[in-house]
C-alpha cells in the first residue's frame, strides 16, 4: 500500500475521533441519587458509594437524597417524574424494582418507567433474632413461633421489600404466624430489633453484618443456597429443615434512570459504575459486607431485572399476596 493510500484511510479515523468524543455525555449540573429508603440500609450504602465515586470522576457534585415510604414506591416515583437527562438516578433494589410489580395493585409506575443503568451488588438476607428470643437454631425459632402464634413480630424495611417477602415465604413454608411490622428502611428496623421492640427480622446481610459482629443480634441462617463466607458457621436456611428445602432469596441493588434518558448518558454512567465495581477497595468492601459485585452492561441488567420480576411474580401469585400502595 502506498503512503498516499494509507493517509487516505487514516484521515477519516482522525476526523471520527473528535466526533466520538463530542458525542460522549458529560453532566452539566449536579447529579442527584434518590434512595427510596431511610439511611443505613444497603440501598443507601450503595447510593453513597456511587456518589463518592461519580463526583470526582465526572467533575460535578453528586448528592444523595432519601425519600422513604410506600415500600420504595415514593422514592421511585420521584425519579420517574424527574427530567430524563442523566442528572437524576435511583438507587433501586429488588423490592420496588421487581417484587412491587406483582405485589401492589395500584402501583403508579411500570417497568417501562425506568431505564436500568447498572447492577452493583448481590447478597443474601440473614435471619436474625433479638438475644432475648429463646432460639439458637431455625427449628427452635419455628417451635417458639408455633407455641406463640401471632404473638411475635418481625420487622422489615418496608412492605414489598425482599426482607418482607422473605418473612412471608418463611411463615408459609413453616406454617407459623407472626406480625409483620414495616419500617421506612432497614436501618430503623434494625434499631427496633436491637432495642427488643420486635423479635426477629430478615435483614440484608450487606447492611446487617455489623449488628451481627457486634453481638447485638443473633444470626440463625442466611437465605442463599449456600453458606456465606462472612458467616461460615451459620447455615443456609434451606439446610435447617425439610420444609425449607426450596427456600432461596438474594437481594440486589443497582442504579436506574428515568425512561428516555439518552443512551450516551446511560453509557457514561454504566462505565463509571463498572470502574467502581472493579476497584480492589470496592471488592474488599463488598466482601466484608457479605455481598458480591454484579458488573455488566445496561442490557444485561435489564435482562436480569426482567427475570427477577418474573420469579417473584410466581412466588407472589402462589402465595395469593396483593396489597395497595400505602
> DSSP string of 219-273?
EEEESSSS--TTSTTSPBGGGT-GGGTT---EEEEEEEEETT--HHHHHHHHHHH
Measured between alpha carbons, how far is 6 from 13 in angstroms, rounded to an integer?
11
Domain containing residue 311: CATH number: 3.40.190.150
Let me know: does 157 contact 131? Beta carbons within 8 Å: no
Write the Ramachandran bin of 222: left for phi over 0, alpha for psi from -120 to 50, otherwise beta: beta
Report if residue 19 sits inside a domain. Answer: no
Measured between alpha carbons, how far is 61 from 42 in angstroms, rounded to an integer?
22
Residue 275 grid cell: 470502574
Q: Are residues 139 and 236 in the same domain?
A: yes
Let me know: does 189 contact 201? Beta carbons within 8 Å: yes
Q: Which of 222, 244, 266 is the last residue of a domain?
A: 244
Report if residue 2 sits inside a domain. Answer: no
Radius of gyration of the chain (CA): 22
The predicted structure's pLDDT at residue 110: 96
The predicted structure's pLDDT at residue 311: 86
Task: Report in angstroms the alpha-carbon separations of 286 from 45, 196, 230, 280, 323.
Answer: 11, 28, 11, 10, 34
Measured between alpha carbons, how far is 102 from 98 in angstroms, rounded to an integer?
8
Let me know: does 128 contact 212? Beta carbons within 8 Å: yes
> DSSP string of 54-81?
HHHHHTS-EEEEE---GGGHHHHHHHHT
Q: Are residues 161 and 202 in the same domain?
A: yes
Q: Are residues 219 and 296 in the same domain?
A: no
Measured between alpha carbons, how far is 167 from 184 in angstroms, rounded to an integer?
17
Q: Which of 244, 261, 289 is the last residue of a domain?
A: 244
Let me know: does 222 contact 158? Beta carbons within 8 Å: no
The predicted structure's pLDDT at residue 267: 98
Residue 31 grid cell: 447529579
Q: Are residues 215 and 306 in the same domain?
A: no
pLDDT of 256-291, one tens digit each? 999 999 999 999 999 999 999 999 999 999 998 889
Domain containing 286 equals: 30-122+251-319
Q: How many domains does the chain have?
A: 2
Q: Are residues 209 and 171 in the same domain?
A: yes
Using the structure block, give the residue that is written with the C-alpha cell 432497614.
186
Q: Are residues 40 and 72 in the same domain?
A: yes
Q: Which of 202, 227, 244 is the last residue of a domain?
A: 244
Residue 254 grid cell: 443497582
User: Could you tell me what percent of the chain has a pLDDT over 70?
Assistant: 93
Measured between alpha carbons, how far is 233 from 186 in angstroms, rounded to an integer?
24
Q: Are residues 117 and 141 in the same domain?
A: no
Report if residue 22 sits inside a domain. Answer: no
Global pTM reads 0.81
Q: Are residues 156 and 182 in the same domain?
A: yes
Q: For residue 81, how many other CB atoms are within 10 A of its CB? A: 12
pLDDT of 94-104, one tens digit each? 999 999 999 99
User: Average pLDDT per run of 10 along the chain, which is 326 residues long?
Assistant: 39 40 82 94 95 97 95 94 98 95 93 98 96 98 97 92 91 95 91 97 92 96 94 97 94 97 98 98 93 96 96 84 83
Q: Are residues 178 and 271 in the same domain?
A: no
Q: Among 98, 89, 48, 52, which residue's Cα sits nearest to residue 71?
A: 98
The predicted structure's pLDDT at residue 23: 66
Measured between alpha carbons, how far is 248 from 169 in angstroms, rounded to an integer?
10
Cβ-proximal residues to 94 (8 Å cutoff; 6+ apart), any chain: 161, 162, 251, 252, 253, 308, 312
Report if residue 60 sits inside a domain. Answer: yes
Q: Are residues 71 and 165 in the same domain?
A: no
Cβ-proximal residues to 235 (8 Å cutoff; 6+ apart), any chain: 138, 221, 222, 227
The predicted structure's pLDDT at residue 158: 86
Using the structure block, give the residue that is written with the C-alpha cell 463488598.
286
Q: Are residues 205 and 153 in the same domain?
A: yes
Q: Are residues 130 and 237 in the same domain?
A: yes
CA atoms within 13 A on the CB side of 198: 23
Domain containing residue 136: CATH number: 3.40.190.10
Report if residue 228 sits inside a domain. Answer: yes
Amino acid at each position: 500500500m502506498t503512503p498516499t493510500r494509507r493517509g487516505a484511510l487514516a484521515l477519516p479515523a482522525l476526523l471520527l475521533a473528535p466526533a466520538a468524543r463530542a458525542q460522549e455525555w458529560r453532566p452539566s449540573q449536579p447529579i442527584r441519587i434518590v434512595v427510596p429508603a431511610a439511611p443505613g440500609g444497603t440501598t443507601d450504602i450503595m447510593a453513597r458509594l456511587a456518589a463518592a465515586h461519580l463526583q470526582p470522576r465526572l467533575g460535578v457534585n453528586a448528592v444523595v437524597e432519601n425519600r422513604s415510604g410506600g415500600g420504595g414506591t415514593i422514592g421511585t416515583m420521584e425519579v420517574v417524574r424527574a427530567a430524563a437527562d442523566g442528572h437524576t438516578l435511583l438507587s433501586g433494589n429488588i423490592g420496588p424494582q421487581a417484587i412491587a410489580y406483582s405485589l401492589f395493585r395500584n402501583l403508579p409506575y411500570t417497568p417501562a418507567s425506568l431505564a436500568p443503568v447498572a447492577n452493583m451488588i448481590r447478597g443474601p438476607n440473614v435471619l436474625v433474632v433479638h438475644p432475648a428470643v429463646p432460639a439458637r437454631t431455625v427449628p427452635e425459632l419455628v417451635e417458639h413461633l408455633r407455641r406463640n402464634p401471632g404473638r411475635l413480630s418481625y420487622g422489615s424495611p418496608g412492605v414489598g421489600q425482599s426482607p418482607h417477602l422473605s418473612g412471608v415465604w418463611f411463615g408459609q413454608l413453616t406454617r407459623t404466624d407472626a406480625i409483620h411490622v414495616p419500617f421506612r428502611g432497614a436501618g430503623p428496623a434494625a434499631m427496633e430489633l436491637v432495642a427488643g421492640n420486635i423479635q426477629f427480622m430478615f435483614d440484608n446481610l450487606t447492611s446487617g453484618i455489623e449488628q451481627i459482629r457486634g453481638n447485638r443480634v443473633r444470626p440463625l441462617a442466611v437465605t442463599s443456597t449456600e453458606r456465606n463466607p462472612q458467616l461460615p458457621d451459620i447455615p443456609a436456611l434451606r439446610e435447617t429443615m425439610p420444609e425449607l428445602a426450596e427456600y432461596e432469596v438474594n437481594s440486589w441493588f443497582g442504579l436506574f434512570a428515568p425512561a428516555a434518558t439518552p443512551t450516551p448518558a446511560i453509557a457514561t454512567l454504566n462505565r463509571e459504575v463498572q470502574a467502581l465495581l472493579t476497584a480492589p477497595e470496592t471488592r474488599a468492601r463488598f466482601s466484608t459486607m457479605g455481598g458480591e459485585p454484579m458488573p455488566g452492561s445496561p442490557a444485561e441488567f435489564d435482562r436480569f431485572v426482567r427475570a427477577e420480576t418474573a420469579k417473584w411474580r410466581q412466588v407472589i401469585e402462589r402465595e395469593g399476596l396483593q396489597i395497595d400502595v400505602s
